[in-house]
Amino acid sequence: MNNKKRNELLALPGRSRLNETLSCILHCGNFRHGVSRYCSTHLGRLLRYGGPTQQRVEKSTLAPEVAIMRKFLKHNDTHPSVIAAQDWLTKFVRQIAEIKGSPGQAQMRQLVYDGFTESAPVSKWIPNGQREMLATVLATFYYAIKRPAALPANEPLTYALFNHLIRLASPVKRGRLKYNANTGREEILYSYPQPGAAVRRLRGREIRTTLASFADKVFSALERQHQLEVERRQKLETDFKDGDLKHRKRYIPRPPDAPRKREPNAGTFQRGGRNKFPPGYVPKGKRG
């Protein structure tokens, strides 16, 4: 009897060992993971995105909304609410980054390091770090409103708010080496510090509960802006009435059932126009 076999026999079937013989409650065909009701795939999604079937909202998916919010915030950068929201978010990030061991410190420290807590350019494409952070948060809210199926509940939105905020920062140099099969050498690994589910939920909730009402005001402003644009366009679409047509001397509207006076295609002859030949002329190939 080898060691492994003996250990298996001696070990008491713990909570997880029993549990792992059962199937995932979503009936995906996999066994459960640890003491969870879900398999490892669905548990991973629950911990990272706030729901067992929740998918990641990619950064590129959010890009159009971020662009809208960036523009809006730039135009309203003197508005007291915008200033207050930017200040709160900056303070929020800085405070967490400073306190050692506070949940989310590694992620927030990276945001501070990259310069997102300054109103100065972060990179060639990001002219204002503070504004970019707020634009990202607002864009996540906006996406959740526009696509309710993508972020269907409060919890996925909470996680997405935190996830998108920390994904602004660049990946961090980790203390280990990784073998690169393409170059055949060991290279320093760069990756994002992954926070646990508790951190995402805690910090995400703080962002959501604080900035939700501000986001609501921004969206009603955008809605009003859209409404004004619609009204402006509708003005261009007003129908012309008979009274508006006085400049035409002999305008007599034809009743809908009256026969047309001329055949539709027997119009005036124009060289190079639609009617190539004068009326009554039969081309050579088609003569009787």
Compare residues 43 and 134 and give the one whose CB is closer to Zn ion: 43
Is 189 in contact with 177 (CB distance < 8 Å)? yes
Q: Is 134 in the site for Zn ion (CB under 5 A)?
A: no
Compare residues 46 and 151 and give the one whose CB is closer to Zn ion: 46
Q: What are phi and psi of 89, to 5 degrees?
A: -65, -40
Residues 32, 42, 45, 70: which binds Zn ion (CB under 5 A)?
42
Closest approach, Cβ 19 to Zn ion, in A, equals 13
Q: Is 45 in the site for Zn ion (CB under 5 A)?
A: no
Closest approach, Cβ 160 to Zn ion, in A, equals 21
Compare residues 27 and 233 and give the one whose CB is closer to Zn ion: 27
Number of residues that bind Zn ion (CB under 5 A): 6
Compare residues 42 and 208 and give the one whose CB is closer to Zn ion: 42
Window contacting Zn ion (CB under 5 A); options: 39-47, 78-86, 104-112, 229-237: 39-47
Q: Is 68 in the site for Zn ion (CB under 5 A)?
A: no
Neighbours of 28 (CB within 10 A): 13
Closest approach, Cβ 197 to Zn ion, in A, equals 17
Closest approach, Cβ 40 to Zn ion, in A, equals 8
Q: Is 32 in the site for Zn ion (CB under 5 A)?
A: no
Q: Is 24 in the site for Zn ion (CB under 5 A)?
A: yes
Q: Is 26 in the site for Zn ion (CB under 5 A)?
A: yes
Interacting residue ranges for Zn ion, rule: CB under 5 A: 24, 26, 28, 30, 39, 42
